[in-house]
Amino acid sequence: MTIPVALAILLIGLTLGLIGAGGSILTVPLLLYVGHLPLKEAIIISFFVVASSSLVALIFHVRNRTIDWQLALIFGLPAMLGAFIGGSMAAYLPNNLILTVFYLLMLLSGLKLAFSKTTNSEPSESDRSLVKSILLLFSGLIIGLLTGTIGVGGGFLIVPALLLLAKITPTLAIGTSLCIVAGQASFGLVGYAQHTPFDLQYASVLTVFCCIGSLSGAWLSTKIENAHFKLIFGWFLIIFSILFSVIELTKIFGLY
């Protein structure tokens, strides 16, 4: 493992713990272009790292009681099922299709972080009506299928869904999202493990660095205002999604 990979994984963990979304989407490109791993091996290692670091980051949220456990079950169980199905189906999907969807979602994540308005953190009345619960179940399944196929945690999709459908505070959404991401990534890992072997020792070392970052990020999330960080990181994702897409296009046309 190179020093750039270790430092980048540390920063990815920091981002995941700090804003509960976005950071894990950089793990696959990092392993693909810097670690020089095959795509599906990069994805399964990404799941291993994201699942482990999310569980570690949850320590602070459990202690601070910023997890809605009922909501985590309503949204998380179908998301885990979807992630397992998506990870299993990935064996039959071409790499180009997976990468295309991946970079589109990476661009979407960047746009969401860069241009979303700051949500009021005042408590609002949580909505647990039958209709909203069904929408949460369905959203969890779809997001799980999507993220389970391409190897991301999906926090950048989960957090907005929780805010919109369940009407909880951003702090509660971040903690609940991390709980869902941990389960979703674990089941995506199991789905991929059926058809893709990976280096467990390498994944474990990366996980240690990512967990250090996620612990630091989770602690910082209770201490600082992260609106400016979200803006900067959002533009970072936008730029790199375009850059990685150009790299893949040059490969297709034999220019790279």
pLDDT number for residue 5: 81
pLDDT in tens, 171-212: 788 889 889 988 999 999 999 999 999 999 988 988 888 888
Mean pLDDT of 115-140: 70
Q: Are 182 and 25 in contact (CB under 8 A)?
A: no
pLDDT at 218 over 80: no
Which of 27-31, 135-139, 151-155 has the lowest average pLDDT?
Answer: 151-155
pLDDT number for residue 54 = 79
Q: Nearest 5 degrees, angle CA 201-CA 33-CA 29?
A: 80
The tens digit of pLDDT for each residue in 220-256 reads 766 665 566 667 667 877 887 888 888 777 776 665 5
Quote the pTM value: 0.81
Nearest alpha carbon to residue 48 among 220, 196, 233: 196
Look at residue 69 in the predicted model and tell me its pLDDT. 92
Half-sphere exposure of 174 (CA within 13 A, CB side): 27
- Contact predicate 177/159, CB 8 Å: yes
160 pLDDT band (50/70/90 cuts)? confident
Which pair of tokens denotes residue 193?
């493990």
Question: For residues 62 and 124, what is the distance between their CA atoms, to the nearest angstrom?
Answer: 21
* Residue 117 amino acid letter: K
Q: What is the pLDDT of residue 141?
A: 94
pLDDT at position 245: 83
List the domain boundaries for the chain.
3-252
